[in-house]
Amino acid sequence: MKRHLLETTILIACAVFARGQAKPAADLIIQNARVWTVDRDHPEAEAVAVVGDRIVAVGSNQEVDAWRGAKTSVKDGAGKRLLPGFNDAHVHLTSGGQQLDYVQLNDATSPQEFARRIADRARKTSKDEWILGGDWDETKWTPAQLPTKELIDPSTSQIPAAVSRYDGHMILANSLALKLAGITAKTPDPDGGVIVHDAQGNPTGALKDAAAELVYKVIPEPTHDQRRQSIERALEHAASVGVTSVQHMNPDYADIAIYAELLEEGKLTTRIYAAPLIPEVDDQAKIGIRHAFGGPYLRLGALKSYADGSLGSATAYFFEPFNGQPNNRGLLADGMHPVSLMRDRMMKADGAGLQLCTHAIGDAGISAILDIYAEIEKAHGPRDRRWRIEHAQHMAAKDFDRFAQLHVIASVQPYHAIDDGRWAEGRIGHDRASRTYAFRTFLDHGVRLALGTDWNVAPLNPLLTLYAATTRATLDGKNPRGWFPEQKLTIKEAIEAYTVGSAYAEFQENVKGSITPGKLADMVLLSDDVLNIDPVKIRDVRVLKTWVGGKLVYDAK
């Protein structure tokens, strides 16, 4: 790693001298800052110098000032905390951008408020459009019952509606949407999905996991301009919260085409590693793309797959049933029917040198994926694969060691812990909950963590993620000292997992993730010192400036 960075620094210096300058001169210097580099060899500094898109010097104000030239832009950090840019290891970038413009339902605290907001949106929606998005959460209602189409049919009789639960594993469709999808009382559940029925056997409008695909298939695809607008909104939002890299899980190829378009135009302000769904394995394998293929701003080479559903929708796959639901252990995803189908696809992907990123939430779902990973290693031999399990929420005790032995990365989202912690024990009991979002146990077993948010399922703001990881204080205020507090991370551990850890998860730890000479100049300046304030106050910290490759992409002013 150090050799790589040294070679990069030499190349930068050569480029500087090739410009005909008498001495090296930085394009950007940030001075008078409290720099936490996340570089264990040199963790703290006062100033940073940048040439082009790379860091060339990190040290004291005096040391870095030697890089100052006539045209150097010098920024005063004013004693604020400077960190590497945050790298969100798991986002759905396009849907996140879309949700910024969709109806907002997550903070609707009653069915009546839910229905009122749908009705308001319906009055502003033409008959040739759909009402989408929402991110509703029935656990905030009293009683916490799933919504039905009867709540929204009166206001949407002529407008199709399909609003998502916040975990992305269930939608509520109105009667018109069900009709357009051909869903009736006689429609069978698809593999990996559930059509919820009422006491009379009629669909309620709630569709879980693969059943939602029946409706998604009839929703018109966004136009190119609509998709681009959503992506541009998402990029702008990412910059405003200090996210300089994202790992986009299950993008459409149309999304990737727009990323390429924005890159060509010089408008891609967030670095993207795109992981399309594993049924597309042949597309990348047949042209020889391997893991982390591409350039600093846009890369491919990973594939996303699903083992199961979610805890909130009661579709995560467990060894034992959900509490109070003796006949429900959750669902294996449609791509796991049969399991040999997933195994074959993963074998093909691994044989082509592609990275595997697998959504697995329930203990049995996680264990099933570890089984497949072990079979692949036995068949193809050991190598640096950096397999990932996305979410890795509810672990079986026996599988922590297997995670470490197979060198699987736990790609986790701490905000989910303080959200689900409001009600998770009611679903799975205290024992299983004690191995839920088990960040400390992963570290104790030598498992690497990569932090993210799952945006738009949770807020993209990294400060909320750091708050969640360090406090584990549930959103309902009932666990101020932490829900299973023994699983907390320190602030330094959380930052490292959110920067170098996420970079490692995409084979980029030699290129970004720390403020180190030779690495990309992705940095964020914060309003408060997250390393020294009470963790409870981290959620109130703001991003002041965000740089990507030395370019200022956000300035709160």
Q: What is the mean pLDDT of residues 491-512?
A: 98
Lowest mean pLDDT among 10-24, 50-64, 222-236, 474-488: 10-24
User: Given a cut of 70, is residue 6 above it in pLDDT?
Assistant: no
The whole-angstrom separation of Cα 34 and Cα 555 is: 18
Task: Determine the pLDDT at residue 393.
Answer: 98
Output phi, psi for 525, to 5 deg: -105, 130
Condensed to tens digits (0 to 9), the pLDDT of residues 68-83 reads 999 999 999 999 999 9
Judged by DSSP in three states, 129 sits in coil
Query: What three-state secondary structure class fits 507?
Result: coil
pLDDT at 152: 97
What pTM does this model have? 0.92
Helices (H) and strands (E) in the chain, counts: 19, 26
pLDDT of 23 over the 60 cut? no
Q: What does the pLDDT average to over 146-153?
A: 97
The pLDDT assigned to 12 comes to 53
Domains defined for the chain, CATH in brackets: 1-79+515-557 (2.30.40.10), 103-216 (3.10.310.70)
Confidence of residue 347 (pLDDT cuts 50, 70, 90): very high
The per-residue pLDDT for 18 is 46
**SS3 track for 336-402:** HCCHHHHHHHHHHHHHCCCEEEEEECCHHHHHHHHHHHHHHHHHHCCCCCCCEEEECCECCCCHHHH
Number of residues that make up the chain: 557
Q: Count Cβ neighbours within 10 Å for each residue of 111-140 and write b for 16 or more, e otherwise.
A: beebbebbeebbeebeeeebbbbbbbbbbb
